[in-house]
A and B are shown apart, each in its own frame.
Chain A
Amino acid sequence: MALNLTRRKFLQTASLAAATAAVSGCFANRAAASTPFVRKPFTAPGSFADTKTVVGGVCEMCFWRCQLVGKVRDGKLVKLEGNPKSIDNGASICARGNAGVKLLYDPDRLKYPMKNVGKRGAPEWKRISWDEALDECAAKLKAVSEKYGPHAIAMFPHGASATYPMGFFEKVVGTPNISEASFFQCRGIRDTAYVATLDTPPDENVDMANAKAILLLGGHFGENVHVSHVKRYLKGLENGAKLIVVDPRFSASAAKAHIWVKIKPGTDTAFLLAVMNHLVKSGKYNKAYVTANGVGFDKFTAGIAHASLEWAARICDVPAKQIKEVAELLAANAPNVSIHPGRHVSWYGNDFQRERSLACLTGLLGAIGVKGGFVAGKGPKVGKAGGWPAVNEEHAEHHALHKMAKKYPFSPPGTPTDLIREAALTGKPYPIKAFVAWGQNPIQTVPNQPMTIKVLQQMDFVMVCDIMPTDITMYADILLPETSYLERYDMIKPGTQWDLAGKQQQYIAARLPLVAMTAADHERKDPVWITNELAKRMGFEKHIPVKSQEEKTEKMLAGANLSIEQLIKEEGIRVQDGVEPYGKVLKVNFFSQEIADAGFPGVPTYTPVPEPPKGFARLVYGRAPVHTFNRSQNNAWLVNEMPENPVWLNDESARKMGLKDGDRVSLVNQDGVKSRTTTVLKVTPGIRKDTIYMAHGYGTMNPAMTVGVGKGIDDQSLITKGAVDPETGAHGMRSCFVKFIKDGKELSIPA
């Protein structure tokens, strides 16, 4: 065996003797020198190499929060599984959930606080200490707050880790300018429309497992996967529920549908009005429920009386008899029907009225509080902790842009994104000079990227906190690395068994770390620590509500007579007897005086949206089962499953355009904006000629995402013109039109 003889001999030479003396001199204080190693007698494998099952995981590869266990071998997470004790997802998790392991050990993950010594958008990073990073963040944020007022700080948060800092910025610092993508680019419209109609946000609370009919408007389950949600849906189908899918595309759900309504995009409200008008005119609605619980029903019926089957058929480009068939099928199975409220609903800029229509249809069928209908499980009570005191909330409210402009009265909490961007760019009614992104990548969540970039460029200070180098991190002055959902104490997840008609049970799960939060090669911190350190430096120390993430978890669990220790003893999930969920009655505002008083139609109303210019088709987007947008686009396992997002084109159109399945194409939109990348073409009869489809969350432009960069097309880059929903101020993002580019040539899409 070679024994480094040459090297060892070499060490004896005179020249190197001097060198080693100098090198050794660097370690003069040898005894005190510590090493990252400890001595430990060798133990034979089998005793230490066992795989431990660590409980307390709650997934965050998407927002659904399945309960997990981690298989941990010798400090390393080797596998994630559903927690067998779960009465929600059970032992099942999806592909993304499985791939959490890959997120944890992604070499591209942010490791240390960094300072941008280059430019915003073209960063050069320097690792800095937490003290330096936090001192600078606090000083810059304070300077902006003192010069322009706290409302000059805008925050774009997302996910469980952003809840605590968001409370700090809103209530203590005092800025109203918080734009959550989950509201303004996703579900906020749904929530406020249902609150205005049924006085409750709907979540996805339809009892599909026990429904006799299910109506999905754009819902594409199977491509869109949330485990217990899909379980409800599939159980319903297994039990023979009739499925109606309204979608311009032959989605995974359309493939299982009894009726596929191949609707023209943008016209869904007209469709729903015609369905409701038909039910009213033919007397096939739930008169008892409506009489007992309906408000403004006469105004409602008068207001939708124009919506004949033929009227809607023309608008929606579907047969009148199919609309009738849908109405009759729903009536025949009422009240046990699931009118799904949807989740991502910020589509066309006329979305509030569509969501109102869905809520009214639910009421019209009396599909509330009954098996198969709109029913929420009754979850257990848990404690509250980590709420910041409302020190400057009043200041925030006085400076809320939509209130100052008397616009968007049905805005979800926070401030509509475009009002923030416009204020930043015009300085009116006041300047916005600091930007905080926390877990959100506004480059890919918000339409009109050039505008967002301009907004960022005019800031005095940009701070970003994330786990991955997403697009927005390229614009940070200071970049802070967070622990992931697998390494931290965090939120509590309460709920019920997934099948509402099953044995009534409740559960409480808490997100506990599955692997150690610290390691020698990084300095990631949890959001409570980061926020508290910022608060101290900004002079708000006395308002800090909890000292640590762990304390917050303990306090919340204490509200359910639980502790972290006890929860671990109970295998990570407390399961207890539940409460019957059925029987709850909700008032239905068919006509809403509140909405009418605000100057909007009090009866659900269809407003047409712009048509595609000649040669263009409307770009719509959706989910892929193996991706959650940005969050997973650098995950090597998931990228391997679906490396890019094929763009769907109608087969007849393709033939006329000379395109074939598998061609490499790029897209150009109505404003001449071209996609940065190309993707593969999918030619199919399963899409309308006026519609182009692709999955969202591809084509990141940040090369620091070494796996995901440039793969597929970033649909958001083409959405230069977001529509804005007039009631809510939320974005509509199926508002752009595209043509194809093949080999440098633009190809028009035939009508």
Chain B
Amino acid sequence: MQCERHTMTDDDPGVKLADIYRFLSRSIEFPEPSWLDDAYWPAFFALLAGIGWQDEANELRRLRNEGAPLLESLQIEYTRLFINAVPHVIAPPYGSVYLSDDGTLYGPSAVRTKDFYRERGFDLSGEADIPDHLSLELEFLALLAEEGREEEEALFLRQHLRPWFPRFKARVLAEVRHPFYRVLVNLIDFFTREEWDNGFESDET
């Protein structure tokens, strides 16, 4: 059974945030023409403009207008950053790679993430799916947000995504060659960074 969408009006901030989470979730998947299309870029630029990141928007817009084969260069960079590369894959986008002693996939923290999904009434489609891929965690946040489950959303961010995201981000920023992924991880950071009572969380790395 696929998820049915909760009926809320589009004006609801939770729904808007859900759309943003989902947009980011999709953006951190392998770039395919099926979604990285002419509708994608204006949305991406609008989002950057919306939070005042005009320079980043201009930089990417320029790159796009240069007419270079953007899709292929993004695919190569994505492969290098997140799949396999020489000298080594830069930043596997899985939580437990950063949270376990032996840097394993599907480590204990990933099991806890899966438990969290379950306790909130969600399960992964495939039984062997790795639970803590960044894209999945963002999609899960979207599911919570569109149902207005703000407390659970905050709890998930604090207990599951944020404990590893800054380390992932630091690895990407240290090695990234394509501005798109630099901007994207900063954007994900912006929309997932927790605001504590006493202000923003520290930017641990």
Please give the residue numbers on chain A whose beta carbons come within 8 Å of chain B beta carbons, in ascending order. 1-8, 10-13, 15-16, 18-27, 30-31, 34-43, 45, 48, 73-76, 102, 105-108, 110-112, 114, 117, 122-127, 469, 474, 479, 515-521, 636-637, 640, 702-707, 709
B136 nearest in chain A by CB position: A36
A37 touching B124, Cβ below 8 Å: yes
Q: Which of A39, A45, A106 contacts B1 (CB 8 A)?
A: A39
Interface segment out of the listed B60-68, B83-91, B178-186: B83-91
List chain A residues, Cβ under 8 A from B13.
8, 11-12
On whether A74 and B89 interact (CB within 8 A), knowing A19-B49, A38-B1, the answer reads no
List chain B residues, Cβ under 8 A from A124.
76, 80, 85-86
5 A-B pairs whose Cβ atoms sit less than 8 Å apart in the complex:
A106-B104, A107-B103, A127-B75, A704-B89, A706-B103
B89 touching A112, Cβ below 8 Å: no
Q: Which of B2, B76, B88 contacts A38 (CB 8 A)?
A: B2
Q: Which of B49, B86, B97 contacts A122 (CB 8 A)?
A: B86
CB distance from A4 to the nearest CB of B (A): 6
CB distance from A165 to the nearest CB of B (A): 21
Q: Which of B4, B43, B79 contacts A39 (CB 8 A)?
A: B4
B154 touching A76, Cβ below 8 Å: no
Q: Which of A11, A12, A704 contacts B85 (CB 8 A)?
A: A704
List chain A residues, Cβ under 8 A from B195.
2, 4-7
B104 touching A105, Cβ below 8 Å: yes
A101 nearest in chain B by CB position: B104
Please give the residue numbers on chain B whose beta carbons come within 8 Å of chain A beta carbons, in ascending order. 1-5, 10, 13-14, 16-17, 19-20, 22-23, 26, 30, 35, 39-40, 42-43, 46-47, 49-52, 72, 75-76, 78-80, 83-89, 92, 94, 97, 102-107, 111, 114-115, 117-130, 133, 136, 139-140, 143, 150-151, 153-154, 191, 194-197
List chain A residues, Cβ under 8 A from B94.
107, 521
A16 touching B50, Cβ below 8 Å: yes
List chain A residues, Cβ under 8 A from B122.
37-40
List chain B residues, Cβ under 8 A from A704.
84-89
A4 touching B19, Cβ below 8 Å: no
On whether A26 and B79 interact (CB within 8 A), knowing A19-B47, A39-B1, A520-B125, the answer reads no
List chain A residues, Cβ under 8 A from B52.
15
The 3 A-B pairs with the shortest beta carbon distances in the complex, nearest first, are A19-B50, A703-B87, A516-B128
CB distance from B67 to the nearest CB of A (A): 19
CB distance from A517 to the nearest CB of B (A): 8
List chain B residues, Cβ under 8 A from A38.
1-3, 122-125
Complex Cα distance, B85 from A111, in Å, reads 12
List chain A residues, Cβ under 8 A from B14.
8
A37 touching B117, Cβ below 8 Å: yes
B16 nearest in chain A by CB position: A20
CB distance from B119 to the nearest CB of A (A): 5
Most buried by A among B26, B47, B106, B194: B106
Q: Which of A34, A73, A516 contacts B126 (CB 8 A)?
A: A516
6 more contacts with CB within 8 A, not counting A24-B10, A516-B126, A520-B126, are A4-B17, A6-B195, A26-B40, A39-B121, A520-B133, A636-B102
List chain B residues, Cβ under 8 A from A7.
17, 191, 195
A37 touching B75, Cβ below 8 Å: no
A30 nearest in chain B by CB position: B5
On whether A127 and B78 interact (CB within 8 A), knowing A519-B128, A706-B88, the answer reads yes
B74 nearest in chain A by CB position: A126
A15 touching B126, Cβ below 8 Å: no
Complex Cα distance, B156 from A1, in Å, reads 13
B105 touching A106, Cβ below 8 Å: yes
Complex Cα distance, B145 from A394, in Å, reads 66
A77 nearest in chain B by CB position: B106
Complex Cα distance, B85 from A474, in Å, reads 9
Q: Which of B86, B87, B150 contacts A4 (CB 8 A)?
A: B150
CB distance from A69 to the nearest CB of B (A): 18
A74 touching B129, Cβ below 8 Å: no
